[in-house]
Amino acid sequence: MSQANDKLIGPVPSSIVNSARSNVTPYEGRVAEYNVATWLHLPGLANLPVSLMVRYRDGNQVRDVAVDHGKVNSHNKVMLSGIARLPMKGKIEDMQVRLRSAVPTQSLIVEELFVQAVELQESANRQAMA
């Protein structure tokens, strides 16, 4: 699928991006994880496959990570969700949730978008408990 058919679902606020604790993994290095879910209305894309993507900047590099794949139903709606595992060398910036489709999307209606850190940093965790 071409990146030309990527459509912005929504930006992720930096407060959510910065709240995630990063873990060190043997193969990917540092990784931050986010729960991502969205309900979309996609007129004209009934019965076509789509992908939920997260795009972010890691230093000077722009990265795309696939979160979920699904098929738009006959009512032009789809729910996509999953855990976005974002490898990083520096700091995650400009995080966006995006839709990727095989054909151009004429219209995209975001009915709901949810993004949350899987594990909070210690300082954010203490604030959440206060």
pLDDT of res. 25: 78
Q: What DSSP letter does each residue of 26-91 carry, written as one string?
A: TTTEEEEEEEEEEEEE-TT-TT-EEEEEEEEEETTEEEEEEEEEEE--TTSEEEEEEEEEEEESS-
pLDDT of res. 106: 86
* Whether the model pTM is above 0.75: yes
The residues of the chain scoring below 50 in pLDDT are: 1-2, 130
pLDDT of res. 127: 53
Token pair belonging to 19:
């709240």
Structural domains of the chain ordered from first start: 3-121 (2.60.120.260)
Residues 92-125 pLDDT 10s: 999 999 999 989 888 999 999 999 999 887 755 5
